[in-house]
Each structure stands twice: as C-alpha cells, then as structure tokens.
Chains A and B, each alone.
Chain A
Amino acid sequence: MVTFLGATINGLVLGMAYALIAVGYSLVFGILRLINFAHGSIYVFGAYMVYLFVSLQVGLFPSILLAILLAGLLALLVDKITLEPLRKKNSMLISDLITTVGVSFIIQNVLSVEKVFGSERKVFPSLNLFSNITIGHITIQSSQIIMFVVALLLLLVLTFIVNKTKIGLSMRATEQNSRAAKLMGINVNFVISFTFFLGGASAAIAGALICGYYQVISPTMGSLIGLKAFAAAVVGGIGILHGSVVGGLVVGVCECLAAQYLGSNVRDPMAFVILIIILIIKPNGLFGKKGITKV
C-alpha cells in the first residue's frame, strides 16, 4: 500500500510537469494542426539556460526567469524563421513536420557541441529548497512539492490567459477559423508567435522543475519526454488546456505505477499504450471536441 501511494504521488507530481510541456504542444497543435517536434528540444534548451545562469552565479530565481524568457524567444524565433515562410507558401503539413524535426536536430546538437555544453550529463542545481515532508512511511521531497504547486499555478495562469484575456480570445478565434479571425482584424501571425512564446516559456519552466527534481541534464533528454508529453496532450484531447492536465496526470501516474509493478522497461512506452487505447475508444482524446471535416 505504501509503495502504491508513493508511486501514485510520484506520478501525480511528474504528471503535472508533463502537463506543462503538453500545454505547449496543445496550444500549437490547436492553431496550426502541427506536431511541433522542436518543443522537446526547447524544453532542453530552457533547462540548459537555467544551468548556465546558475553557474554564472546569477542566482536560482533570476536564472529561471531569464531561461523562461530566452526559451520563449527561441520558440518564437523558430516559428518566425522556419515555419512562417512555409505558412506563407501554403506548403504541406508534412513539410512543417520535417522542419520542426530539423530544428530539434539543430538545437539538440548545438547544445551537445563540446565548446557549447558538451554531450555528457551535467549536475543540475537542486530545487530541494526546504526539508522533506514525511507522512507515515511516505517521504515527499520538497522539490516535488514545488514542482506540483508551481505547475498547478502556471496552468491556472495559462487557463486564465486563454479564457479571460483579449489575446486569449484571439487565440481561440484563430484556433477555430484562422481566416475568419483574420477578417475580424486579428493579427494572426502575432497570435501564432505569442502561442509559440507561451509554449516555449512553459516548457522552460517544466525543464527547470523536472531537472531540479532529477538533478541531472543532458542534451538528448528532450526527445523522449517531449514525445511522452505529446502523448499526454493527445490523451486529454489536444488543443484543450484542462485536457492536457488530465492527460499529463494519467500518463504520469500510469508510468510510475507501471515502473513499480511491471518493471522499468515498461515505464517509457506506458504513455503510448494509454495513447493508443484512448485514441481507439475516443478518436479525439478524453475531452476532445468532435472535429468537423470542412469540404
């Protein structure tokens, strides 16, 4: 029972962080119908920026803030430089997909060049800011509590931005029908850039939180976690914020329980097993709206 509870708590905490990454996929997919494979590498970039600024003695919180800003800007630049020209040319979705794969190659491999950061693992500053909490036989690390609370707060902020602000309204309008949104005077390109910025920023925060918990970073860590977060976004219903949260939690908990009871090899693919089951039962995810085919 204790191991079960422990695994569940681990899963919930990890799930919250997945949700933060998943939101980035979800926002972009909602507007562009594009799986942004560069997102995982932006998460890595964010984590590395935190590492860089902390090692430059900037202090933990300012470093995280700087990292958020830089990762957001990088995501925005990726869109401006590589994806916007493709949109203007009305190119096929698959070209966009390959472009994001190429971008993720570039970011990951620039990070692992010896003179930049190097490909070996590095120790990341711990986020254990206060003492651990023990309830009965279960110990919860303080970094886990921070991860959960910060992720929850950020997701609430994101929900607020999307649902209550003017830019959020434009985002939703663009998602529903970008041409009509354009006719209503919405600057669609700005909205898309803003979406990429939000996604990049939340990925950087997730990077700081997750790496602060595991205390290790490497340039290649982003691809798997990115795919899993993406699976989480799809499980919840991609394009829907609370869907990402539920998806993230489901994936996180299932993963930790599977690792506990079925063996560590099962851990990583668990997200995809859930994904396929959910997609076969509900093709648009748990909270997904039924898509309408436009003729």
Chain B
Amino acid sequence: MAMKKNTNRLLSSFESFCYKYRYIFAVIYVLLCVSIPFLGLNRVQTRLLMMIALYAMLGMGLNVLTGYTGLVSLGHAGFYGIGAYVCALLQVNAGWSFWPALLAAGVFTAFIGLLLGLPSLRLSGSYLSIVTLGFCEIVQMILKQWESVTNGNYGVRNIPTPHFFGIPLTAKNGGLLLLIVVLATLTALGCLALKNSNTGRVFFAIKDDELASTMMGINTSRYKIVSFVISAFITGAAGGFYSLVNGYIEPTNFVFNTSILILSVVIVGGLGTIRGMVFGAALLQLFPEVSRGLYEWRFVVYGLLLVLMMRFRPQGALGWRSTQPYHLSKQAKQILAQPETKKGGAA
C-alpha cells in the first residue's frame, strides 16, 4: 500500500514536471525530428524507427475506437489494407501524386468505416468484434479476387517515391522516416484535441456506461459511428504511408495477425492513452529485433510477454490514470463561472 502511494506521488511529480516544461520538450522533439536526415541512421535503424512510428499511428487510430469508445475491433488490418491499396492504386494506375492520394486513402477508408459502423448500432460487445474480424477477411478476399484492379495475389508493385517540393522522400535520405514521424505527431495532436473535446468526452462516457450516456440524452449510435469514422481515417492514412515503406504491397500484408498486432500495441501500451501507443509500438516492434538471439523461441517469448502483461499489468505498461487536475474546456469554464440561474440556458 505504501509502495503504491509512493508510486503515485512519483507519477504525479513526473507528470507535473512534464507538463511544466512541455514547451521545452516540444522544442527538443521538433529539433530531433528536423535532424533526422542528418543523424546518419543505417537502413535497419531507419526501417525500425519507421515501423515504430507507423504502428504508433495505427495504435492511435485503433485507440480512438477501443480506448476511447470501448468498441473492440479485431479487423483494423482491413482499414489498413484499404488505405494502402487506395493510396497505391491512385498513384500507380491513375497517376495521382502522393499527397492527394494519401488524403483520398484516409477519406475513402473513413467512408468504409462509416459503412462498418452501421452494424454497430445493432450489435454489441463481442459480436461487434466478430463482425470486424469478418470484415478484415472480406477485405482480404476482395484484394485477392478483384484482379483487374488490385492485381490479385501479386499485389501492387513499383509505387513511386513521393516528392516534397521537389525533394524526393526515400528511406535512404531519412525523408520517409520524417514523413511518418510528422504524420504520427499530427495524429497524436489530433487525438489529444479529440480527447479534450466534447466529442472525446462523449466517447469516454459511452465506454464507461452506455446506458447512462443514453439517459443523459446522448445519441450513442451517432457517436459510435463518428468514432468508427475517425479511427478508420487515421488507420487508412497510416496504410497510405505503408504503401511507401517497401514500394510494393500485397494482400498478405493485411491479415488477421496484423489486426492482432495493432490491438496488442494498444493494450500493451495502455488503453486510452497516447504515450502508451508510442511505447507499445516501440516494445512490440523492437522485441523481435532485440530477441534475435532466441531464434525460433522468440515468438514463444512474445506470446509469454502478452500473457504476463495481461496478468500483472492489464492496464498496459503506461496506462496510469492522470493525476493532473481535470482539464475543463473553455465553454465548460464559462458555464461554471456564470451564476446559477443562467446555467440551463447556456448549456
């Protein structure tokens, strides 16, 4: 008990420290990002960092759905695949440049998220997870079967390098890494804003108690769909980036195991947090690299890691509740500041 108290105090002071110097941290972070092309990372390191940033972004995408709204998706690889294919095909077949293609990938995937969100009105809990699982398999089938467009099992090859004001972004000059870091950072900022917005609060309310939220007059179905759409948009954009990592994509990149990996990032990192996504992605991407010495046993150890994690720290590695004072929105502060009689009208 005493230890728990100590840990809490430590956490609290750590959080206040981070919060106090957040601008300095932000500046350091930006400087670090800008210096990426000059750090002289080798191919393996660049790739690893790219995958970490990519999975952090995917984790944040799923986190909106699972961590905020409490809807467990087992089929995010489906969104991921749709995003990757839309982005790749628009570039290869339709001759679009990367940036509009990336946006289109996000928007199209969000639309699919809307369609998949509709059954969520009728299904609850595990059944919804099952539908998302089936969705992933069906996406897989369409990618394999619609050969005239997706090129079937062979996948899409020769995806062009994107250019940023004439500068090619490749893995070699660190441009791709910079791109995904920027995308992931934007996503993180977006998620932070979402978390502190009215919509975000509704998401958390639905997660904690759906019935009570309905009683408070919240249209839960609408917000569930919104959650699906946001989540799909982020995941689709991440997929769009993935099409650049290898220069080719094939249907088997987006299978059930990928969905599970994304979900593991969210759970291992800490459900509902943003810091957790980065940590989870780093842990799960680094682990297979670090444990090469274990050879064939490494995925056994990986499984063990998941099991032990759930047993002893089910809230995720960094999944503590914030000890900082509750962050009220401007509107809420205004309402609270007003005299008692006006409250009803302002709300």
Chain A residues packing against B (C-beta within 8 Å): 29, 33-35, 82, 85-86, 89, 91-99, 101-106, 108-110, 112-114, 119, 223, 227, 230-231, 234, 263, 265-266, 268-269, 271-273, 275-276, 279-280, 283-284, 291, 293, 295
Question: Which partner residue on chain B sits nearest A29 by CB separation?
Answer: B126
30 example contacts (A-B, Cβ-Cβ < 8 A) are as follows A82-B311, A86-B311, A86-B314, A91-B314, A98-B264, A101-B260, A101-B264, A102-B302, A102-B303, A103-B307, A105-B302, A105-B303, A106-B307, A109-B296, A112-B296, A113-B296, A113-B297, A113-B300, A223-B256, A223-B257, A231-B130, A265-B153, A266-B145, A269-B137, A269-B140, A269-B141, A275-B130, A275-B131, A283-B123, A284-B127
A-contact bits for B245-259, CB 8 A (1 contact / 0 none) = 000000000001100
Q: Is the CB of B130 within 8 A of A279?
A: yes
Q: Is the CB of B72 within 8 A of A283?
A: no
Q: Is the CB of B127 within 8 A of A85?
A: no
A82–B264 Cα gap in the complex (Å)?
17
10 nearest A-B pairs in the assembled complex, by CB-CB distance: A105-B303, A102-B306, A272-B134, A269-B141, A106-B303, A102-B307, A109-B299, A272-B137, A95-B314, A95-B310
Residues on A with C-beta less than 8 A from B125 are 33, 93
A85–B309 Cα gap in the complex (Å)?
13
Q: Is the CB of B131 within 8 A of A102?
A: no
Question: How many residue pairs between the two chains, A and B, have CB atoms under 8 Å in the bound complex?
Answer: 134
Residues on B with C-beta less than 8 A from A284 are 127
Residues on B with C-beta less than 8 A from A230 are 130
Q: Is the CB of A234 within 8 A of B130?
A: yes
Q: Is the CB of B256 within 8 A of A102?
A: no
Residues on A with C-beta less than 8 A from B307 are 82, 99, 102-103, 106
With A263-B145, A269-B141 as given contacts, are A231 and B134 in contact (CB-CB < 8 Å)? yes
Residues on A with C-beta less than 8 A from B122 are 280, 283
Question: Which partner residue on chain B sits nearest A279 by CB separation?
Answer: B131
Does any Cβ of A come within 8 Å of B286's Cβ?
Answer: no
A234–B129 Cα gap in the complex (Å)?
12
Residues on A with C-beta less than 8 A from B137 are 227, 268-269, 271-272
Does any Cβ of A come within 8 Å of B211's Cβ?
Answer: yes
Most chain B beta carbons < 10 A, residue from A91, A283, A295:
A283
Residues on A with C-beta less than 8 A from B309 are 98
Q: Is the CB of A98 within 8 A of B310?
A: yes
Residues on A with C-beta less than 8 A from B130 are 35, 230-231, 234, 275, 279
A253–B89 Cα gap in the complex (Å)?
35
Q: Is the CB of B299 within 8 A of A105?
A: yes
Number of chain B interface residues as a range: 35 or more
Chain B residues packing against A (C-beta within 8 Å): 66, 72, 119, 122-127, 129-131, 133-135, 137-138, 140-141, 144-145, 152-153, 211, 256-257, 260, 263-264, 267, 271, 296-297, 299-300, 302-307, 309-311, 314
Choose one: A106, A114, A271; the contact of B296 (CB below 8 Å). Answer: A114
With A33-B126, A105-B302, A234-B130 as given contacts, are A272 and B314 in contact (CB-CB < 8 Å)? no
Residues on B with C-beta less than 8 A from A108 are 299
A51–B140 Cα gap in the complex (Å)?
32
Q: Is the CB of B126 within 8 A of A93?
A: yes
Residues on A with C-beta less than 8 A from B145 are 263, 265-266
Choose one: A106, A231, A268; the contact of B304 (CB below 8 Å). Answer: A106
B264 to chain A, nearest CB (A): 6
Residues on A with C-beta less than 8 A from B257 are 223
A98–B268 Cα gap in the complex (Å)?
9
Choose one: B124, B126, B310; the contact of A102 (CB below 8 Å). Answer: B310
Residues on B with C-beta less than 8 A from A110 are 300
Residues on A with C-beta less than 8 A from B134 are 231, 272-273, 275-276, 279
A269–B146 Cα gap in the complex (Å)?
14
Residues on B with C-beta less than 8 A from A227 are 133, 137, 256
Q: Is the CB of B311 within 8 A of A99?
A: yes
A279 to chain B, nearest CB (A): 6
A93–B314 Cα gap in the complex (Å)?
10
A217 to chain B, nearest CB (A): 18
Question: Which partner residue on chain B sits nearest A111 by CB separation?
Answer: B300
Most chain A beta carbons < 10 A, residue from B129, B140, B141, B304:
B141
Residues on B with C-beta less than 8 A from A280 are 119, 122
Q: Is the CB of B133 within 8 A of A272?
A: yes
A94–B314 Cα gap in the complex (Å)?
9
A112–B299 Cα gap in the complex (Å)?
10
